[in-house]
Amino acid sequence: MLNGEKMLFSGMQATNVLTIGNYLGALRNFVKLADEYNCLFCVVDEHSITVRQDPAVLRKQARDLLTLYIAAGLDPEKNIIYYQSHVPAHAELAWILNCFTYMGELQRMTQFKDKSAKHADNINAGLFTYPVLMAADILLYQADVVPVGQDQMQHLEITRDIALRFNNIYGDVFTIPEAYIGKVGAKIQSLQDPSKKMSKSDENPNASVYMTDDRDTIIRKFRRAVTDSEACVRYSDDQPGIKNLITIYSCVSGKSPEEIEREFEGKGYGDFKSAVGEAVADTLAPIQLRQKELLADKAYVDGIIKTNAERAEYLALKTLRKVQKKIGFPERVR
């Protein structure tokens, strides 16, 4: 049942292969919420170029992500699944919103600070205004809800601030969006350093489980996961490595942390780690298979890409034209 006409928007970057952190923190929630809202799921390829990309790799990863959305269970007939770069209104609204965003606000963004430290040789203006393009993505579609992982909260806050600032001047133009953060899985940590978030750009391939990893690789990575020496499966802040594995297991099995503690009472870490690996591999296998089928069906996917971009553009232009009128751009005569 649709939740009235409520809109949901979310996006992911087509940079590197997705990890189970992206899946459990974001994509899985997209699928859960899809039945309740009118949804758009965007492959934000324009955000990706804030960091240097190889063109062929970017193109491939963008298609991989778009097909992964579908393979994970998002129906492209019901939901709008598309590339950001195919709808020029995103960049046009971003320009306008740039003029309603303060340098000081952008300077406070932790993602900007992290990424500029990591890419010190390429601190470009796009990296700085990244959150404004993200605000444009969301506000273009009058989104009520935006499912994201914990690390995107700050970007959601600035989106709301920009929207409120604009509405205060021009009247109720934008819906003020709310973040949706899942109860479990909003922050999956690295398997090699449980104090760090699992990230698809981590240099150590053992730190992350990728959505494309095969069964053996998944199980091996979980076996090697860094834990402590307490040797009991307990969901506690004192055991961050084990806590992270319990969280992952809980997400893929549907069992609560307490049930998991009981299941592994008296058992060693070896058994537990193997069980987590098996359960994650079981969850990913059907998604991987479906994605492979989609990637082989070029005509079908191309058709989706075309019609969905048109559907997105139709909605985006409604908001963009309203904004352009409000700020005083000359009336369009064509």
Contacts with ligand ATP by CB under 6 A lie at 12-13, 15-16, 19, 21-22, 25-26, 148-149, 151-152, 186-188, 197-201
List of E strands, the chain: 7-12, 38-43, 80-83, 145-147, 178-180
Q: Does 294 engage in binding with ligand LTN (CB under 6 A)?
A: no
Binding string, 206-245, against ligand LTN, x = CB under 6 A?
----------------------------------------
Q: Which is nearer to ligand ATP, 86 or 187 (CB)?
A: 187
Q: Which residue is nearest to ligand LTN (CB)?
A: 11
Q: How many residues does the chain have?
A: 334
Choosing among ligand ATP, ligand LTN, none, which partner's interface includes residue 243 (Cβ < 5 to 8 Å by kind)? none
In DSSP terms, 146 is beta-bridged to: 179
Establish whether 197 is a catalytic residue.
Answer: yes
Pick from 71, 146, 219, 260: which binds ligand LTN (CB under 6 A)?
A: 146
CA 85 to CA 44: how far, in whole Å?
7
Q: Which of 6, 200, 318, 326 is catalytic?
A: 200
Between CA 194 and CA 213 the distance in angstroms is 20
Binder of ligand LTN out of 87, 127, 148, 158 (CB under 6 A) = 148
First to last CA, the chain: 39
Q: CB within 8 A of 300, min separation 6: which ones?
A: 294
Write b or e for each residue in 145-172: b if 16 or more Cβ atoms lie within 10 A of its Cβ, otherwise e. Answer: bbbbbebbeebbebbbbbbebbeeebee
> If binding is defined by CB under 6 A, does position 152 make contact with ligand LTN?
yes
In angstroms, the CA 323 to CA 2 distance is: 27
11 lies in the binding site for ligand LTN (CB under 6 A): yes
Is 69 near ligand LTN (CB under 6 A)? no
Which of ligand LTN, ligand ATP, none does residue 274 bind to, with CB < 5 to 8 Å depending on kind?
Answer: none
Contact residues for ligand LTN (CB under 6 A)? Answer: 9-13, 44, 47, 134, 137-138, 146, 148, 152, 155
